[in-house]
Amino acid sequence: MGKVYLENIPRQEARDRFLSEVEIPTQTEQVQVAEALGRVNVFPVFANLSMPAYHAAAMDGIAVKAESTFGASDQTPLTLHEDESFKYVDTGKPLPDGFDAVIKIEDIHQPAEGQVEILNPATPWQHVRAVGEDVVAGELLLPARRRLRPPDIGALLAGGITEIEVLKKPRIAIIPTGSEVIPPHAPREKGKVPDFNSSVTAAYLYEWGAVPEIYPIVPDEPEQMKESIRKAAKDADAVIVIAGSSAGSKDYTYSCIAAQEKGEVFVHGIATRPGKPTILGKIGDKPAVGLPGYPVSAYLSLEWFVRPLVYHYYRESEPDRERISATLGRRVLSEVGTEEHVRMAVGHIKEGFTATPLTRGAGVTMSLVKADGLMIIPAEAMGCEQGDTVEIELYRPQKTLYNNLLAGGSHDPVIDLLATTLKERYPSYTLSSTHLGSMGGIAAIEKEQAHLAGVHLFDPETDTYNTTYVKRFLEGKDILLVTLAHRMQGWIVPPGNPDGIEDIHDLARKKPAFVNRQRGAGTRLLFDHLLLEAGLSAADIYGYEREEHTHLNVAAAVASGTARIGLGILAAAKPFGLDFLPVREERYDLLMSTDFYNSEAGQALVNIISHPDFQKEVESLGGYSMREAGTLISF
């Protein structure tokens, strides 16, 4: 039932082919105007009534006949008599018969009861709203295919229109598939995957103006899948099948769409990464899309192919995102022949924008959560070099990126806490972090590709942290260190320490599967120093070559059983219920330029770090001491 890829079609070609073959059939409905905000009207709308429907006073004052006031002046005040030559009126009230102007109440003097005195003549129709001033009966209120805004609602009601025919929101069926997939609220079991893709897909569809309907999860059974797709194609205006679109033995989406009555597939496989295993077809006259199961692939494919369908249904252009030029903070390699979409963190440093790539895996949902924008590497390119000027398609308004602070360097949960507190106390700022390791952080500061970097580099010759490395690699730079915390590094092991680890020699003797940190990480350098101290080498450690980029990833590896031990911090071990064996306390500093330190943003960070409430919250994580937090180390 499965199908091996037969195509590797460029994205734009696949899009053009799909949109030329399918569209969502047009349907309409009548709705109350008062409830029509955001809906799209089908036909031109003309006013039934004028607004105002009578000549109305535009001011509080007196209604007069203009010609009876001619000649009034400061030298020759004119006295008018109530009912005979004027009448009192309030704003919005009908202009009394026989009168054609209004004099404001503040422009008259009342010398006696029933009399007023004026010093200036009125002009005809002064301060009067004539019939139809706002809306005239028969006037075109709205052209066809307009998405209704709040003022449009007012104009329609003013013109006597209380119901309007609008495009019915297209109903799109979402079918999650996979024998391993469970509802998101179900208890988590090993080998089972929660279905969050359906909810995210539904949220996108809501945002674009469609009505999603999530169908029950279908296991990897072709007959069940065919029946679910058949029912969805009958009931909905378009069908989306999630997962089963690749080339594995249990990937049935292609065959199940093609097997439907009048089922046809135009595209199976596009030349992008992520997003290659995308299926585009139709069932009868209804669009059918097979999305990849990996989240990032699914969401990007949804945007490339389903969003234009919905906007075309409304006869609207897809909204364009802002684009900026930025300096690339790290080299990015790409496969020739495949268009690569790389999620990026973007910030403004000194004179321009800097963009740093985030994790590129198709299953890494957090890369989209953290992304400020997207860099597209063309299919004919092999990648981009560090320092290149690249174009970024923004997920956020450009103006917000001027206050987006980029943190590189070593990972620590306190950086995440700092970002949260910064947003709470200084709402105009955000803090985005990428995990480059301590040495990567030094390089980022040196190249002005980050505002700050977390570092914890131990120098065994001086028995100090960070200062030796900063002097060596950033000589002549106007930079400084701000102490964030002292933290304990230790062995992260399964509950109960089943391997009986006491010190580093046990790693060589008992050979538990070890998970290391990436090259350039301060924890990696510390581990290498511990090996040297113990007279051991990398060859003595089983798993030395396995690398993770964060303390939490190390803890996750131990918790999942793919590793038995790793070196990390207590704050990473605790969420997984792992044991922690202290090894050595270290100083974790923030490296930054003096200019940034003295800036408003830099001082905001220092104020937070120095605040007792923040320090208390950090220490509550376990394994931290804030005894020197905020201390400045200059060079």
CATH superfamily of this structure's domain 323-402: MoeA, C-terminal, domain IV (2.40.340.10)
Helix (H, G, I), strand (E, B) or coil at 43: coil
Spacing of C-alpha 525 from chain mean position: 35
Q: Are strands 171-176 and 624-625 parallel, antiparallel or unpaired?
A: unpaired
Q: How far is 568 from 148, CA to CA, in rounded Å? A: 55
Q: What is the pLDDT of residue 281?
A: 96
* Segments making up each domain of the chain, as ranges: 11-26+169-313, 28-52+133-167, 56-129, 323-402, 452-634
Q: What is the pLDDT of residue 335?
A: 87
Q: How far is 428 from 399, CA to CA, in rounded Å? A: 11
Cβ partners under 8 Å of residue 445, min gap 6: 408, 452, 453, 474, 477, 479, 591, 592, 593
**Which of 623, 284, 296, 598 is CA-nearest to residue 485?**
623
Dihedral sign for Cα atoms in the order 587, 592, 595, 599: negative
The CATH class, in words, for 28-52+133-167 is alpha beta
DSSP label at residue 362:
T
Q: Is 345 in contact with 444 (CB distance < 8 Å)? A: no
340: which strand partners? 273, 377
Q: Which CATH architecture has domain 11-26+169-313?
A: 3-Layer(aba) Sandwich (3.40)
* 431 CB neighbour count, 10 Å cutoff: 24
Q: What is the pLDDT of residue 1?
A: 42
Q: What angle, rounded to 10 degrees, do the helices at 600-610 and 612-619 form?
A: 60
Q: Is 41 in contact with 147 (CB distance < 8 Å)? A: no
Q: Take residue 31 and report the two structure tokens written for it.
A: 């709705």
Q: What CATH number was assigned to the domain covering residues 56-129?
A: 2.170.190.11
Q: How far is 142 from 616, CA to CA, in rounded Å? A: 59
Planar angle of CA 427, 432, 438, nearest 5 degrees: 135
Q: How far is 280 from 270, CA to CA, in rounded Å? A: 10
Dihedral sign for Cα atoms in the order 239, 291, 432, 586: positive
Q: What angle, rounded to 10 degrees, do the helices at 522-534 and 437-446 form?
A: 130
Dihedral sign for Cα atoms in the order 391, 397, 398, 401: negative
Q: What is the pLDDT of residue 249?
A: 63
DSSP class per residue in 479-523: EEEEEEEEEEEEEEE-TT-TT---STHHHHHH-PPEEEEPTT-HH
Q: How far is 346 from 605, CA to CA, in rounded Å? A: 19
**C-alpha radius of gyration, the chain, whole number:** 34
Q: Take residue 402 and report the two structure tokens written for it.
A: 């001027």
Q: Is 441 in contact with 410 (CB distance < 8 Å)? A: yes
Same fold, 323-402 and 452-634: no
Q: Is 104 in contact with 162 (CB distance < 8 Å)? A: no
Q: What is the pLDDT of residue 362?
A: 62
**Which of 208, 215, 214 is CA-nearest to residue 169?**
208
**Which of 445, 453, 450 is CA-nearest to residue 477?**
445
Q: What is the pLDDT of residue 514?
A: 98
pLDDT digits (tens, 9 = 90+) for 537-573: 999 999 999 999 889 999 999 999 999 999 999 999 9
Residue found under tokens 């000194």: 350
Cβ partners under 8 Å of residue 509, min gap 6: none
Q: Take residue 167 and report the two structure tokens written for it.
A: 């495009």
DSSP label at residue 98:
T
Q: Is 557 in contact with 566 (CB distance < 8 Å)? A: yes
Q: Which CATH architecture has domain 452-634?
A: 3-Layer(aba) Sandwich (3.40)
Q: What is the pLDDT of residue 600?
A: 96
Those residues of the chain that have pLDDT short of 70 are 1-6, 247-249, 361-364
